């Protein structure tokens, strides 16, 4: 129903944030410390969301990336793990770390998450292992790292916009990130110029 919320970060702690979107404050539960302190209050944020509907409440759960949201939905598919437990797991482990923990049968690492015992961790591994692939896990880790590096080196959003445009054109996320990073002087280009240069790198 709500794919993401984009607006001004008004409040943040280690449990939830409030994002102002055209005068409406969305209260969004987030993994611990993901937004708290990492993004200044008053800055624009884009939060990928999952709407959990219960008989007595409607709650939004939010994540910094689509990948985190995708892994959260995988966790919800595990019998006995609800949104709160899923959020706790992603507070203790990154999406990449969780994937590798599942593929490596590392129940001890998963059991470090709040409210997750060893039996639940083992059950989670059993139910998710067939849904994950080691090669895909490495590719996603590379893509996430490249995205983080891009964000750190670019003072603004033109690099991310160029990557998103390439992905929209049908190129794999990892290839798009690599192509944009290969463009010399990318930080000083506008999105259109950067996109054209990156497309040449894709050929």
pTM (2 d.p.): 0.68
Cβ–Cβ < 8 Å for 159, 194: yes
**Best CA proximity match to 197, nearest among 159, 147, 154:** 159
Could you tell me if 59 and 28 lie in one domain?
yes
Could you tell me if 140 and 123 lie in one domain?
no
Answer with the one of 132, 157, 176 that is the final residue of a domain.
Answer: 132
pLDDT (0 to 100) of residue 155: 40
pLDDT (0 to 100) of residue 154: 45
- Give the CATH number of the domain where residue 89 resides: 1.10.150.20
Cβ–Cβ < 8 Å for 26, 18: yes
Could you tell me if 43 and 93 lie in one domain?
no
| Number of domains composing the chain | 3
In sequence order, the 6+-apart residues with CB closer than 8 A to the CB of 130 are: none
Range of the domain at 89: 66-132
Q: What is d(CA 139, CA 72) in angstroms, rounded to the nearest whole number?
A: 19
Q: What is the tens place of the pLDDT at every residue in 70-127?
A: 999 999 999 989 999 999 999 999 888 898 899 889 999 999 998 899 999 999 999 9
Q: What is the tens place of the pLDDT at every residue in 179-195?
A: 887 888 777 788 888 88
């Amino acid at each position: 129903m709500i794919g993401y919320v984009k607006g001004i970060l008004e409040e943040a702690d280690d449990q939830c944030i409030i994002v102002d979107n055209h005068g409406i404050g969305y209260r969004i539960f987030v993994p611990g410390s993901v937004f708290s302190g990492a993004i200044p209050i008053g800055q624009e944020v884009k939060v990928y969301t999952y709407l959990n509907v219960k008989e007595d409440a409607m709650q939004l759960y939010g994540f910094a990336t689509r990948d985190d949201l995708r892994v959260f939905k995988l966790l919800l598919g595990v019998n006995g793990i609800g949104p709160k437990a899923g959020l706790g797991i992603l507070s203790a482990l990154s999406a990449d770390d969780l994937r590798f923990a599942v593929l490596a049968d590392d129940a001890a690492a998963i059991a470090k998450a709040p409210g997750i015992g060893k039996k639940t961790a083992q059950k989670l591994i059993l139910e998710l292992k067939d849904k994950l692939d080691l090669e895909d896990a490495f590719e996603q880790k590379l893509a996430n790292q490249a995205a983080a590096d891009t964000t750190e080196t670019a003072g603004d959003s033109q690099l991310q916009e160029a990557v998103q445009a390439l992905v929209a054109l049908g190129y794999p996320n990892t290839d798009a990130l690599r192509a944009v990073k290969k463009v010399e002087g990318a930080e000083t280009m506008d999105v259109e110029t950067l996109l054209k240069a990156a497309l040449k790198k894709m050929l």
